[in-house]
Amino acid sequence: MEEKNYYAVPLITMAVVTGFIAGVFGSLLGYTVYYLNFTEITPGVILAPWNGGWKDGWAGILLAALLYGLVSILAALLYYGTLRKRKSFWWGAAYGVILFLFVFFVLYPLFPGTKSLLKYDINSILTGLCAYILYGVFIGYSISYEYEEFIYLKQLKLKQ
């Protein structure tokens, strides 16, 4: 009897793909809320080390989305390594809040020309926080779901 492989893609690969997709779509969401004036905080801040007017055009948006996708892989791998066994979406929401605090209080001041988070208006802060919570829930729920599915299929395979 031929043995079936129910889970063809390793979980770590799924985490990498999830992280990249979350970063790209999260940055595009960030640009959308920025252009709709929900926030003063532009995702283009990741391009601050480079000079040029191209950063405000399509090339800047695409490069920023790609960079956020790559950086987001690290965030997804961190979640995978620490919280993948947690079933509740609340863990993802908490992860999003922790990432928000880390990004705006540790990483954000490292970029030239940025101001402190507390100097932004309340709409910018709340919009950013909600976006990070949504990001964390996406990463957390996706990775935890894939992990639970893997365990379920593994147990199913053992019963056969």
Contact of 117 with 104, CB cutoff 8 Å: yes
What is the H or E stretch that residue 70 is in?
helix 58-83
Res. 6: pLDDT tops 80: no
Mean per-residue pLDDT over the chain, rounded: 90
CA angle (123 as vertex; 133, 70 as ends), nearest 5? 40
* pLDDT score recorded for residue 7: 61
Q: Any residues with CB less than 8 A from the CB of 95 and at least 6 apart, and which? A: 79, 83, 136, 139, 140
pTM of the model: 0.89
Higher pLDDT, 120 or 6: 120
Question: What would the mean pLDDT of 44-59 be, rounded to a whole number?
Answer: 87
What pLDDT score was predicted for residue 9?
81
The alpha carbon of 68 is separated from its chain's Cα centroid by a whole number of angstroms, namely 8
The per-residue pLDDT for range 77-116, each reduced to its tens digit, is: 999 999 999 888 899 999 999 999 999 999 888 887 788 8
